[in-house]
Amino acid sequence: MKHLLSIEGLDPAAARQILDRSAHFKQGRGAHATLPLAGQTWALIFSKSSTRTRVSFEVGISELGGHPLFLNANDIQLGRGEPIQDTARVLGRMVHGAVIRTYAQSDVEQFAEHSGIPTINALTDAEHPCQILTDIFTYEEKRGPIAGKVVAFVGDGACNVPLSWIFAAAKLGFELRIAAPPAYRPPLALLQRAGLTHVFSRPAAGDEVITGTAPNGGKVVLMGDPHEAAQGADLLYTDVWVSMGMEAETERRLKDLAAYQIDDALVALAKPGALVMHCLPAYRDKEIHASTFETHAATIFDQAENRLHTQKAILDWITS
Ligand code: CP
Ligand code: NVA
């Protein structure tokens, strides 16, 4: 029984298979020779809002021959307090797989354990694995292998998206720089969990830069200066400053992260031809300048479209 609960738990060979098969599903859209989900019903259980993840899974499941069943967590008994274990044991008897968007990572893990059906993390507070697989597929279709490249994440470095990027860098052998204020950086223990063994720090103006490396060339660098992070990077990446569930902190976050906007001046420091990506939804003139967003809209909306193709590769891998 396979699950996709995190990038942390994903075997690098499986990640590579999903990335390579994404191109196959993109090219073959509308003419898939085999329908791996034929006769299957897949539940989508969402406790948080979604446009891309929901639509790409609903369309992807249908196009692979299956039937998607969207369940807003508030409309089922889960929203009234029925335990996740019982929800899992019931759905495991009725549907063939589950795609879950929620808060606690332990909820998707418990669902997988108790349902006995393939379970996919469609975003938790800890990780967004489907997003990062899509992002890497998008990078590679435009620029070739990501191994050895430099990805600069600028903004809230402690939310689900950069955390998944950390595990991806450690597994796939590229450098990830995270530029964020100290309170918005991932804990050092997470770098160790990712297998980044040689963790060391060097002083920087009033701050420190922490570096962890993996034997395959994977590297994660945590720093305060977005300019240093962008220098010579192959990909600049950002995400919202206020993730779902953090709305009460909006005012403080907008203030704390104001210096961490991707704008043209930051992009100018990156490698010529560097890509700019955003997982979306985007807040213009917050985490990304409005005109910078438009300059890179072709990449960003290719990235959004690719959610569909990569979800299909994930579904194909998980059911094979
Ligand atoms: N990027 C992403 O997951 O978008 P949604 O929240 O719209 O699914
Ligand atoms: N970090 C964001 C990602 C949205 C796709 C959030 O959790 O809201």
41 lies in the same domain as 94: yes
Its pTM surpasses 0.75: yes
260 lies in the same domain as 207: yes
**Residue 84 CB coordination number (10 Å):** 22
167 lies in the same domain as 250: yes
111 lies in the same domain as 234: no
Quick one: pLDDT at residue 197?
83
- Asked if 101 is an active-site residue, the reply is yes
- Asked if 128 is an active-site residue, the reply is yes
Structural domain including 98 reads 12-128+307-318
**How are beta strands 235-238 and 150-154 bridged, if at all?**
parallel
6 domain residue, yes or no:
no
Catalytic residue among 128, 278, 296, 309: 128
42 lies in the same domain as 116: yes
49 lies in the same domain as 107: yes
CATH of residue 225's domain is: 3.40.50.1370
245 lies in the same domain as 182: yes
Catalytic residue among 307, 309, 311, 316: 307
Any ligand 1 atom below 6 A from CB of 278:
no
158 domain residue, yes or no:
yes
Q: What is the DSSP letter of 36?
A: T
Quick one: pLDDT at residue 314?
98
How many angstroms from the chain centroid is the CA of residue 271?
23
Residue the block writes with tokens 């996919």: 120
Please give the Cα distance from 31 to 119 (Å, whole number).
Answer: 26
Quick one: pLDDT at residue 232?
98
166 lies in the same domain as 193: yes
- Asked if 279 is an active-site residue, the reply is yes
Residue the block writes with tokens 């960003």: 300
- CA contacts within 13 A on the Cβ side of 256: 18
179: three-class secondary structure by DSSP: strand
**Residue 316 CB coordination number (10 Å):** 21
104 lies in the same domain as 193: no
- Asked if 159 is an active-site residue, the reply is no
Print pLDDT tens along the chain (320 aa): 999 999 999 999 999 999 999 999 999 999 988 999 999 999 999 999 999 999 999 999 999 999 999 999 999 999 999 999 999 999 999 999 999 999 999 999 999 999 999 999 999 999 999 999 999 999 999 999 999 999 999 999 999 999 999 999 999 999 999 999 999 999 999 999 999 987 788 888 888 999 999 999 999 999 999 999 999 999 999 999 999 999 999 999 999 999 999 999 999 999 999 999 999 999 999 999 999 999 999 999 999 999 999 999 999 999 99
- CA contacts within 13 A on the Cβ side of 290: 2
Find the 131 Cα to ligand 1 centroid distance in Å. Answer: 8
39 lies in the same domain as 169: no
- Per DSSP, which regions of 76-234 are E strands? 97-101, 119-121, 150-154, 175-179, 200-204, 207-213, 219-223
Quick one: pLDDT at residue 87?
98
Catalytic residue among 3, 101, 296, 309: 101
294 lies in the same domain as 252: yes
Any ligand 1 atom below 6 A from CB of 171:
no
2 domain residue, yes or no:
no
5 domain residue, yes or no:
no
1 domain residue, yes or no:
no
Q: Which ligand is located closest to the Cα atom of residue 279?
A: 1
Quick one: pLDDT at residue 204?
85
Any ligand 1 atom below 6 A from CB of 50:
yes
Number of independent structural domains in the chain? 2
Quick one: pLDDT at residue 206?
81
Quick one: pLDDT at residue 202?
86
148 lies in the same domain as 116: no
Quick one: pLDDT at residue 54?
98
Residue 267: CB partners within 8 Å, gap ≥ 6?
230, 236, 274, 276, 292, 295, 296
- Asked if 96 is an active-site residue, the reply is no
